[in-house]
Amino acid sequence: MPWAEAVPLPSESEWSADCNCDEVSSTDETNLTVGAITPTFPTGTYARAILVASIHILNLTAATHHIAFKVQGNKDGGVYSDLLDLSASAQLGLVAVDASSDAWCGGIDVTSLVDASGSTYNFRFVVTSDNAGMVRYITCFTLVLIYTM
């Protein structure tokens, strides 16, 4: 039986931005602190880029908050675009955060944005609450590059 040609296996590399903490007491749409990542692509065939974004919310008041959010990104300081929008409906986002905490973490395909080694990619959460009480947000971003060698 002849040996089959070796099939390249996928590999991955990850880069993380420092986590950030913001306190907001507003009902206005608010841009939280940016997480910047500058990846150096490994040798190989680039296949896909996934952003793992997380937001942890601590309600510092007794009032109930319904928090809608977006994840936005840009390349090298360009215009931000929505990568994920959970603000279109009251049922999306984090609802009924009542003097407690909640969190969301998800993977977002950012292959169309992340296309160059050495470029700086900026990611941020944009939040809106229906209550002006104080909320603490902790946000983190990790970029995962999937490729074959």
Q: How many CB atoms lie within 10 A of CB 141?
A: 26
Q: How many CB atoms lie within 10 A of CB 145?
A: 23
- Quote the pLDDT of residue 91: 66
CA–CA separation, 78 vs 88, rounded Å? Answer: 24
- Quote the pLDDT of residue 145: 94
- Quote the pLDDT of residue 3: 59
> What residue ranges do the domains of the chain occupy?
10-148
Low-confidence ranges of the chain (pLDDT < 50): 1
CATH assignment of 10-148, given 2.60.40, 3.40.50, 2.60.120, 3.40.1280? Answer: 2.60.120
- Quote the pLDDT of residue 111: 95
pTM for the whole structure: 0.89
- Quote the pLDDT of residue 70: 95
- Quote the pLDDT of residue 126: 96
At which residue do the structure tokens 């009902």 appear?
27
Q: What angle do CA 144, 41, 70 make, to 5 degrees?
A: 40
- Quote the pLDDT of residue 144: 96
pLDDT tens digits for range 86-100: 887 766 677 777 778
- Quote the pLDDT of residue 90: 65
**Could you give the 3-state DSSP secondary structure of residue 4?**
coil
- Quote the pLDDT of residue 82: 97
